[in-house]
């Protein structure tokens, strides 16, 4: 049965600059897409958050630049600024129409963001 599943991902950058934000977002999106075999027609929406220390560019631009992904609904916002939380982090929540069971979804955490969900990182290894 086809239903909507959320696929999570996160990545960190070392600097608040446009090039690094866009490159990291593209790397994360490419990994989520590849590991879950997603096509743009399956995607209901993508929500992207960044920590408050990242404001040099809109990470959605990186996903919109992927061939055939121009029409996928994208929204950027700020992550809650919780004291002590991971800095310079980009998070993606991709809502996808799929027949994959919940345990068949591959969430992707790269670089320092692996610390956010070590349980999911080890499960997907």
10-68 pLDDT, tens digit per residue, is: 999 999 999 999 999 999 999 999 999 999 999 999 999 999 999 999 999 999 999 99
Q: What's CA 71's distance to the chain center, in Å?
A: 17
How many contiguous H segments (helices) and E segments (strands) does the chain have? 3, 5
pTM of the model: 0.94
Domains and CATH numbers, the chain: 3-123 (3.30.1330.40)
pLDDT in tens, 63-72: 999 999 999 9
């Amino acid at each position: 049965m086809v239903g909507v599943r959320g696929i999570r991902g996160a990545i960190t950058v070392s600097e608040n600059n446009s090039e690094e934000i866009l490159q990291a977002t593209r790397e994360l999106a490419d990994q989520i897409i590849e590991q879950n075999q997603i096509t743009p027609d399956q995607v209901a929406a993508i929500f992207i958050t960044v920590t408050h220390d990242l404001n040099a560019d809109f990470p959605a631009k990186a996903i919109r630049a992927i061939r055939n992904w121009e029409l996928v609904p994208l929204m950027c916002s700020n992550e809650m600024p919780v004291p002590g939380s991971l800095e310079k982090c980009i998070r993606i929540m991709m809502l996808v129409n799929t027949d994959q069971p919940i345990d068949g979804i591959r969430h992707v955490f790269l670089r320092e963001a692996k610390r956010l969900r070590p349980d999911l990182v080890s499960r997907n290894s």
